[in-house]
Chains A and B, each alone.
Chain A
Amino acid sequence: MATNDKYDRQLRLWGAKGQRALGDTCVVLIGGTAAGTETLKNLVLPGIGSFCVIDDVLVSKEDVASNFFVTSTCQEEPTIGKKARAQVACENLQELNPDVLGAFQNVPKLQDIKDWKEILYKETNSRQKLLVIASDLDPLVLETLSAQCSSLQLPLVMVQSYGLMGCVKLQLSGKVPLLDPKPANAPPDLRLKKSFPALDEFVQSIGDLSKLESHEHGHVPYPIVLRKAIEAWRASHGGQDPKTFPEKNEFKDSIKNMSRDIHKEVNFEEAIQHAYLAYTEREVFLPEDLVGGDDSSMLAKLFQALDTFREKHDGRLPLNGAIPDMTASTNHYVKLQSIYKTQAEQDLQEMKDLCQDLPEDAIQSFCANVFSVTQMSTRSLVEELTSQPDEETMDDLKMSLMDPYEVEAHTPLLWYLGLRACHAFFKKQGRYPGMKDDESWEADAPLLEEEYKAVALHYGLADEGLVKSNQGDICHELTRYANAELHNVASVVGGVASQEAVKIITGQYIPLNNTYLFNGIVGVGGLYKF
């Protein structure tokens, strides 16, 4: 053991800021099924502040066989048919991490709850943010909860395991800021098209590159090379940047010509590779809905401050401050690093002055990621069920059926429609298809198929060949499941749901928008926006 921080391996992903965000969060789980307890397990382990399990049933022997956190004894007392599942799950989850506070509420009947607000907030304190997880809830409970989370603007993660099918759906009401989306392959923030005084000064101080001795020449950092090259270009092109494709190539050639031997001077090679940074500038489009209106959300305030900052600095945006590694002498690299860092610190301070009432972590993330910051919101489940998708969404869904999985019947969207049909079936029959415990279970399949057709119509997919040719088999298979709880499917979707919860809580990475369907027959997953 060479470190004593049990969170070491995750801090390397989301850092101290992400960890603080987790610690400030209370996760409320409704429904103590395996999908739910698995989701919560993966949140208790990394250290959320607290959690509360809400449920309305006693432990059954089926729970014990497929849910690791529902045990047949709890504190040396038998639980089956005697203890509330909420309590047993709570105690077994709590035991995973002494840093986390666990609570439970055993309610008489989830279906009878008409007002969720008091229940959801009961075990939280005012400093905490709340995230709600709904696990395998029946449609009656889920739709009420969805509507209320929407009006309370609480993030809701819906997780479901249904035989070999699993589903995770996010419902983000209002505008959820994504302050640190960490896009892959983002270009470095070097501001080489439009420099700033401290950088200009440094570039000047290096003088004429052709006068440097050879080792030094081969270790001039590429941002300096690019600044020199673009200055020279502008001087000979009436102050203009290279615009056309031939001009851009010519600009690259001019860098090549600056090198004494392009095969040996890696710094010039790097400069050519990054030549576009000298004549392109990344832009931030201020979301009109946030800047223009009277929005007082955190993200709106941040963008409003950014607007002010930009005006004051002649269009310049706060600097990130980090520079990538590059071929350079130690002295030049360290100097360059400190120039960017110092400027970024100044910019951050100015932004802090502009939005004094906001949390420091948020301002810092916003400034560091000013080009990638975004917001996300989804439709609620209730909206999805009650109104048809808009044209764009419908087109997207049709498109995804035109690019089916290699075995067409396993295209995840077809199975998502099936799960919706099972919910519709439940609303009519008060049970899931295939629940009869004898040979007659198959009789439900044609009934389910009728629901399937109605669902396909709702999503504008009723005429799709792929739907028509597979709905019979899919409904038969879903009827076979009788909403079976398979631990492995529950654990897959529990993993997905918890990963999404971490992204929402920390504001890092990009959450799924908004539905993931795992087809456990072949192991393929699909992502759809409804």
Chain B
Amino acid sequence: MMETEKTPSIEPMDTDSPAPTRGSLLTLMSRPSRFGNDSGALPIGEFEPIAKSSGVTTADLPDSALSQSKILVVGAGGLGCEILKDLAMSGMPNVHVIDLDSIDVTNLNRQFLFRQKDVGSSKAKVAAEFINKRCPWMNVVAHHGKIQDKDPSFYKSFNVIVSGLDNVEARRWLNATVCGLVDIDEDGDPDPSTIIPIIDGGTEGFSGQARVILPRITSCFECSLEAFPPQRSFPLCTIAETPRRPEHCIAYAFILEWPKQFPEKKLDKDSPDDMKWVYEKALERAKKYNIEGVTYMHTMGVVKTIIPAVASTNAIVSAACVGEAVKILTFCSQTLNTYMMYMGSEGVYSHTFVYEKKHDCAVCSTETHKIEMSKEATLNELIQILREGDLRLGAPSMTTSNKTLYMQKPPALEKATRKNLDKPVSSLIDTDEEIVVTDPILQSINLSLAISFQ
């Protein structure tokens, strides 16, 4: 009789496990809170505690928002390795990771899923293998390649995207792609079921930030573009005529001398031979001008615009990001609204603030963008403004409701529309006629322009 009353444990092995001395994520998920998601400043859903079954951990939770969601991790570098670990330790088994990079020896001081023997292998693959082996409940699928090579349908299949990218261009692409997935109804309202949250992290030295982007609801990456100004380079006259610093000599070697010496060959920043060539040329120039401080390490830093990176900051930012993913999926607590920053150089400063939506954001608003130009300004000049102004577009193509002004491709269409480039815009469109701009940076999103001529 006694024997039949015994409750069978889920895994017999676990009877060895010492009794828990503290709660876990499951404790939070199974108990009501006065700080559930719907009570916060950025409510997404109502928290409903799940039934707690004893002897279970998040690692073997069969049926929950965490175990059933599909997560995309963009980047398997310093942040990506941490993010993958954090997902595993939060009981989120269905994960894809995408990265085009291979492992470099300089990754090893922080990208802790890689070892010396992995140098040269795919980051995404090695990271996924490590996690799957270390945490048997995980099923991480690796994609070794560019984010731009995946179709929108790929991105559409995820519940949450956590990104740990190291450059503005990839962030813009991802942001525009995911914002473009949102269906807008006739009233201009987004369909909530098509909104995929992006949780984006970034670090530099001892500082970093994490932010939550709910496409079309909160500000998006493009709304904050001005916070990431294009990189400043050295004035060419200094490099060519009055070099003073070692970096001026290095810039001379790779900006001016390399193309002169090897007009056919692009400098491979990861090739020791190429980099040695640049270093030696820089050193030569430095000697000529008695400038000290050209070292191989410094040459690397200047040519690759290396940003210092340490394990600790990556850990903080990644965990802040995955913490948000947990809350967004389970509603067990409030959502970050919307931007968290951390600065650790002088004491610690960390705060959150609402990054406001830009009312005429090229990606997440449907508002018409206004541009002022002179009557004589040509279409080419308009392209210049779109590329070099606030919008920072890449290769804009333009149409109106009834004609094509300029198309970057296909080549035949480009050729046919090229003649418009030198014509004044005012001669190409009617008064008050809007121009629709498409651009690879904006992905599926069309930007409307209203030009006022002076």
Q: Is B158 an interface residue (CB 8 A)?
A: no
Cα of A4 to Cα of B90 in the assembled complex, Å: 35
Q: Is the CB of B25 within 8 A of A484?
A: yes
| A92 CB to nearest B CB, Å | 9
Contacts of A491 in B (CB 8 A): 82, 85-86, 89, 315-316, 318-319
Contacts of B245 in A (CB 8 A): 325
Q: Is the CB of A492 within 8 A of B319?
A: yes
Stretch with Cβ within 8 A of B (4 or more), from A102-110, A342-350, A504-512: A504-512
Q: Is B243 an interface residue (CB 8 A)?
A: yes
Q: Is B431 an interface residue (CB 8 A)?
A: no
Stretch with Cβ within 8 A of A (4 or more), from B176-184, B321-329, B362-370, B410-418: B321-329
Q: Is B159 an interface residue (CB 8 A)?
A: no
Cα of A57 to Cα of B314 in the assembled complex, Å: 29
Partner of B25, one of A71, A483, A486, A503: A486
Contacts of A47 in B (CB 8 A): 109
Q: Is the CB of B348 within 8 A of A60?
A: no
Known: A80-B13, A523-B336. A9 touches B105 (CB 8 A): no
Q: Is B334 an interface residue (CB 8 A)?
A: yes
Q: Is the CB of A488 within 8 A of B86?
A: yes
Q: Is A234 an interface residue (CB 8 A)?
A: no
Cα of A395 to Cα of B243 in the assembled complex, Å: 53
Q: Is the CB of B345 within 8 A of A496?
A: no
Cα of A143 to Cα of B85 in the assembled complex, Å: 32
Q: Is A155 an interface residue (CB 8 A)?
A: no
Q: Is A495 an interface residue (CB 8 A)?
A: yes
Known: A2-B272, A163-B28. A13 touches B315 (CB 8 A): no
| B328 CB to nearest A CB, Å | 12
Partner of A9, one of B17, B308, B352: B308
Q: Is the CB of B22 within 8 A of A432?
A: yes
Encode B108-135 as 1/0 by CB contact (under 8 A) with A: 1110100010011000000000000010
In chain A, positions 484-530 with a C-beta closer than 8 Å to chain B are 484-492, 494-496, 498-500, 502-503, 509-513, 516, 518, 520-525, 527
Stretch with Cβ within 8 A of A (4 or more), from B287-295, B381-389, B419-427: B287-295
The residue of chain B having its C-beta at the shortest distance from the C-beta of A82 within the complex is B16
Contacts of A4 in B (CB 8 A): 105
| A439 CB to nearest B CB, Å | 10
Q: Is the CB of B106 within 8 A of A487?
A: no
Cα of A525 to Cα of B208 in the assembled complex, Å: 13
Encode A1-25 as 1/0 by CB contact (under 8 A) with B: 1111111111111000000000000
| A371 CB to nearest B CB, Å | 15
Contacts of A492 in B (CB 8 A): 315-316, 319-320, 323
Contacts of A434 in B (CB 8 A): 23, 27, 31
| A287 CB to nearest B CB, Å | 20
Contacts of B54 in A (CB 8 A): 437
Q: Is A32 an interface residue (CB 8 A)?
A: no
Cα of A509 to Cα of B22 in the assembled complex, Å: 36
| A54 CB to nearest B CB, Å | 17
| A93 CB to nearest B CB, Å | 10
| A327 CB to nearest B CB, Å | 8
Q: Is the CB of B342 within 8 A of A525?
A: yes
Q: Is A360 an interface residue (CB 8 A)?
A: no
Contacts of B308 in A (CB 8 A): 9-10, 12-13
| B9 CB to nearest A CB, Å | 11
Q: Is A209 an interface residue (CB 8 A)?
A: no
The residue of chain A having its C-beta at the shortest distance from the C-beta of B325 within the complex is A488
Q: Is B72 an interface residue (CB 8 A)?
A: no
- Which 4 A-B residue pairs are closest in the complex by CB-CB distance? A81-B16, A482-B23, A484-B23, A495-B315
- Mind listing 19 A-B residue pairs with CB under 8 Å? A4-B105, A6-B105, A7-B109, A8-B297, A38-B315, A46-B109, A57-B21, A65-B57, A68-B88, A71-B134, A72-B136, A487-B319, A488-B89, A492-B319, A492-B323, A495-B316, A513-B347, A523-B323, A527-B347
18 further interface pairs, Cβ-Cβ under 8 Å (given A10-B309, A57-B21, A62-B20): A12-B301, A12-B306, A46-B310, A183-B346, A219-B242, A325-B244, A486-B28, A486-B326, A487-B25, A487-B89, A488-B322, A495-B319, A496-B344, A498-B315, A512-B348, A522-B336, A522-B337, A523-B340
